[in-house]
Structure formats: structure tokens, C-alpha cells
Structure 1
Amino acid sequence: MARQPDPVRNWLSGREGGLKAGVLERLPGPDGAQAGALAVTADEPGMWAIGDLGKRLGGGDWTLDLSALPNAEADGLCLGWALGTYDFDRYRKPKDDGRARLVWPEGANREAVLAMAGGVCLARDLINTPAEHMGPSELESAARNLADRFGGATAVVAGDDLLAQNFPMIHAVGRAADDAPRLIDLTFGDENRPRLTLVGKGVCFDTGGLDLKPASGMELMRKDMGGAATVLGLAHVILSAKLPVRLRVLISAVENAVAGNAYRPGDILQSRKGLTVEIGNTDAEGRLVMADALALACEESPDLLIDMATLTGAARVAVGTEIAAFFARDDALADAVTAAGRAVAEPVWRLPLHDDYRHMLDSPFADINNAGSGRFAGATTAALFLKEFVADPDRWLHFDIMAWNSRNRPGRPRGGEAMGLRALFHLIRNRYA
């Protein structure tokens, strides 16, 4: 209060008792013209405190005095501002309501904030794009663009070549679609550095296959490639930060369509690892395409293996739509994830990787069934299915995410979301930087 000019102090002195959270007031200057703004943010502490100001203030250049804050808090506020200005306007005219421009405050790390904002917005854009324009081939193009930008190598196995190169489950799930299924493999960095591998579920649209979803169940299935989008966004941040890792990104990109050659309930599929899989439900397709990619990832024994997938509705029932559920066998690694989420104000929650539920995946005809028996523990049985294809579960994290904001909040508009990305980057930076 004492640091404000006299007209502002006089104006505030008569309003302090009446200012409530969410209020945005314009402050007068000596000549009566607008000299600034006061936002009351008590209901939204931390990095999201000013997440809606970029849109609420309108156009013009705005300055924030963050000099009294620790650097991490200043970075968080700037990131919240940046993410709050996000708008997906590919299919409509941009709103002519202006966007406030933030004059970069001292004490905030501009390079780091913009890298993180770029990674999150990349994931949001990919998820928000409907399947008509974000099929397996377009997802491949997005991955290639990332590799080209950061000097990575790209290898793609598509169509019937998936059978020739031993990715039979990716092929089976995607073979009914016009846009061929594919395994996208990106690599970055020195081979001698610690190996970090990210695996993303890239089901670009999921009808449920022959176990067809109802119309309401298909409404948001553009987001079923949210795991792939999030690992691409995470890779963007890791590469921007030049972390000393050999980074590999694997994406199984398919559309789970319905046609005469679609895979069927009761089919028994071979997998890359050699296990046979009985199909209990064609709508449990994500774990199939992830399994082949995880088996490939484990062939080079990564130091840390992270997969991200919009895998089960059961995880949403367990933790809701705004928390990223994850599984880990190693307690220390799980604790580090939880601490990372807390440090960056991104809620994550560990669910049990309970081995005693493995019997729910038993099959009388194959090594394993892709759908758990009964109605319970669906997120855990899905994680246990994936665990069968992981060589060293103590170095593995599995994220089961919503990848979608169901409501508008400051900095987090309704639509695609890179859930878990910021927490994982914090974990990875602490582990390798």
C-alpha cells in the first residue's frame, strides 16, 4: 500500500474492505486515466493466481513487480499467465478481444518458462485437434517436426511392415482404419548418456472396435492420443533444457476403427515380447499397442521408462478428472513423483500396483487376457497388464491420465491438457541435471 502513488492509495483506502477474491479493478492515475489494475486472488494461490489475467485485462503491455518473490514463485506466476492466454482457434476466427502482453519481470527465467509453456501448448494443440486432422499420419508429422527442430532421428514402421518387424498388436488394433497404424521412434542425444525413454499411447480415435462404444463414449475420443501428445510436449521441454540424457520417444499411433478386418473379441494375438494375448474386449486396445512399444523400449534397458496413456475410465473414477493417476513398483521413485507434483502445484496420485490382482487377467487359452474379469480395480489390472511387458518394473512409471480439462479454470481452459507433464519434468530434471 505504501509503495503506491497517492491517487492509488487514496482509491484503495476506501475499497479495501469491499475487495473480494476474483475482483479486478482498474486503478486511476494522477490524471484520472487508467494507471494499472488490482486483482484479488486469494481463492487461487500459487502459480494459477494470475492465470486468467492475460485474457481479462485485454490488450496492452502490463508490468508485474515480482522482485520480492523467490525465483521459482516468479517463474510459476509467469507460466500461469502464459498458459492462461492459450486459445485453440484453428477452426474459428480468433476472438478480437485482445491479449494482454506481459513485460518480462526481473527474477523470472524467461527461457525456462517459455519452454514449458511451449511444451504444454504443443500437447494441448495436438489433443484438441479432431481426428479428421489428427490421425496416425498427422501424429507422425508432429513427431517428425519435433525431431527436426531438435536434431533428433526418426524411424517409423507402418502398415504391414509392423508384422514383418514384429509389432503384431499395434498392427492388429489399427489394421481396420484407412490411415495405417505405425510405431514412431524418435531418438535424441549422446548414446553414452543415461537412457530416458518415454512411451505414449497414440490412439487417434477410439470407436471401441467391435465392442463399440455408445455415442456418448466417443464424444471425446479425439483425446485418446493424449498420452502421445503429452510425451511429445514433455520431450520438447527436456530438449529445450538440454538435459544430459539420451532421450527416446516411442509412440504407437493407430485408429481403433470398425471394418471387416477389425480384430475381434476372442482373438488371440501374438505380442512382440512373445506372450499371447486373448482379446476379452476390443475397447481395451490402448494397453495392446502400448505393450508392443514397451517391449521394444525394454530391449535397450533404459535407466528410466515412463509411459503415459488415457488408459482407463477406472482411474477417473478413482481420482477424478483433475488428478494424474500413476503406478510405480519402486517406493522411492513413487515418492519422488509425488514430491515433484507437490513442488510444481500439479496434483498426482499413486494407485496400487497390486500383484494379487494379476489373476483377474488369467486366460484359459492364452498367456494373458487384455481385459480384467469383473468390474473392480480396472486401472490396476490395466497397469498389471502393461507390467507383463516391462523387463525392469523398478525403473518404470505408468501414468493413466485424463488429458482433458472438463471445466475452465485460470490457466487451464476447457479442452486438451498435458496432465503430469510439469511434475515429470521436475522429476527428470532433479534426477539428471
Structure 2
Amino acid sequence: MTTAHPIAPPNFPAPRGACPFAPPPAYEQARREQPVSRVTLWDGSQCWLVTRHADVRSVLRDQRFSADARHPGFPFVTDGRRALANESTSFIRLDDPEHARLRRMLTADFMIKKTEALRPRIQRIVDDFLDRMVAHGAPADLVSEFALPIPSLVICLLLGVDYGDHRYFQERSRVLLHNHSTADEVRQAREELTEYLGRLAEAKRREPDDGIISRLVARGELTDEEVAATCLLLLVAGHETTANMTSLSTLALLRDPAQLARLRAEPALIKPAVEEMLRFLSIVHSGLPRVATEDVQVGGETIRAGEGVLCMISVANRDEEVFEGADRLDIGRESRRHVAFGFGVHQCLGQPLARVELQIAVETLFRRLPRLRLAIPYEDIRFRTEMAIYGVHELPVTW
């Protein structure tokens, strides 16, 4: 039975609550009482908010919901996000068969076996940045000195990008991911990064190496625009997501001494611990957007063709019907059913790499710095509420 809707749907996004690790209370309430409900976006348009774990998985695996931002009714959570999606040919904003064609060219680079083979190299990178941080002395900003440079260097090595340019692409990545960036600011940042990657691709044609960019160019199947868009996605997503998960996971463990003590006593728990932190923190807080291409029933509601949907994975990962005591961090929990990486054909391509990086970074950090603690009051930490990827701006620590 279809439930009655409020006359004026609430605005998106909702205010955050007292706990910075949890989704806004209004979305938790929606999941319990009206898991498929309407919200009003920044431009006055409306879309559906899907909050229950089963419904989120249902939408994300249903081919009647499109990830193609060119479809009328596609929900954009900011004007900048609309500008980025409308001017990009990234495969995450395409449907099959085009999505599958482009994604298949990268699958081998991110297979579990391939990323597991990178463990020794990533361990050296983690140890090196931790050595530098310790040498500089306490207090230190864990974000800028540890959490951010590790995945930045790793993705640069995989792509064949000069890590010496990391400030250039990190600054422009922040513009692309900032919720308050204007459409013009987003276009300029994307254009500058696209030109940068285009020049790099041209250089790889002349002097190929074993990086992803060089191999994409050598295949001869992609246009220059497709190469640039694909590599832009990998470059930005490859460092922003893992960096913020690393720092936020560190903070969550520091705030939960019992769980941290358990991890230190049982280091073999690092793999389930990372899965649990992915579930518990779920750094994509603005949802995964889709648009219906035909009428579909979801959670007792009829979503009409041309209506947008936001799949709230951060809320779905707190669903008590799937995860008992879901608002509690439990590093021994079986959390593999989480949807932090999405679900269906568009789920995150780089998740095996992210897992390895997080496992090594978190385990190494707490093993080598057994007295690690915050260097400022917890109340003074600035959370990235204005960014597409949630986390903290800085994390001052001492040891």
C-alpha cells in the first residue's frame, strides 16, 4: 500500500545530529518509518530517498534505474555536481553496454590477485610516510602527513602520474568535490585536470611505460576524451576516498578505546575491522544517484519513469534488520554485506585496492605508534560536512 506523503517534502540534505559518524537523524527515522520518501533538492526539484538496505541493493542492481546523468530527471545534489556529470564521459555515468566496455579495460588492474601482490610495495610506502611523520615530530596532522599521501602516491604509481604534481590535482579535486563549488569553478577545475591528463597521455604515446594511462593509450580503442575522463575518475577517487576513510577510521578507533584495544590485542582482526569501519563510517553521505527509465515498485512505492532516486548507502549500512546494533562499532562483526562500495554493476572498481591500503595503513599506524592519541580536543575537529566525500579536514595527533 502506498503511504501518504507530506505536502512539502523535506529539503535535502538534512541537518546532521550530535554524532558526526552517524547519518542525519531524519534519514535514520525515514529508514524506520518511510524508507522510500520524497525530498526537495537545492534547485526545487524533487527525487526519491531510498534508505533501507534491501531497497538500496534492489535499486542499484536494477537495470531500470540508470546511472546516466543525461537522462531527464537525474538527481543532482548541487549545481557543481550537475556541471561535472554533464560534461564528463566517465564510465560511472554510463549504462551498459558502454559502461561495461570501458570498465573491462581496467578490470585486470584492480583484481584481488593483482592488488594483493601490491601489499609489499604499499607496506613500504606506508612505513616511509610514517617514518617521515615521526621524524618531523609531534604533534602532526595525520591527514596531510599520512592518510592523504599514501593513496595519492599509490594511484600515481598505478596510473603513471608524477607524484610531484600531487598538489596540483589535489587542489582541483577539492573543487570538484566541494558542495559549494559553482558550476563555473567545477568546469574550470575539470578542464585543467583534463588538459593535464591529455598532455600526459600524449607523452605516454611517445614514451610508454607500464602504467594504466600508457596501456589505455596503447589499446587505441579510446578517444582522447575517454582516456582523460577515465583517468580523471581514477585519479580523484583513488586518493580522496581512501585518504578520508583512513583518517576517519583512525578517529573512530581513538574514540572507542575498547575496540582499539581489541584490534591491538588481535591484529588478525584487521580485515573484518576494515569492513566494519567501511560500514560504520560510509564516507559517501550524499547518496548514489539514479533515475528510473520506466515505472518501478520499490519498498511499496511506485517510482515513475523520469523520477530521480538517491540511494543512501550510509543509512542503509545502519539498517538494524541487517546489522544488529548497527549504530555501534564492532570490529569483530561480519560486515561484508555493507554497501559502502555501492552494489550491482557500478560498484566501486577500486575496492580491492582500497581494502589493501586501509588494512595496511590502519594496522601499521596503531602497531608502530601504541600511544597515538588526539593532540586537540575532540570537539575542535572539523568534519568535512561540505564535501562529497566525508571525513575530517585535519586530524592533529601526538604519540
Q: Higher strand proportion, which one?
A: 1
Higher relative contact order (Cα pairs below 8 Å, separated by 6+ residues):
2
TM-score range with shorter-chain normalisation?
under 0.3
Larger radius of gyration: 1
The TM-score, its normalising length taken from structure 1, stands at 0.24
- TM-score (norm. length: structure 2): 0.26
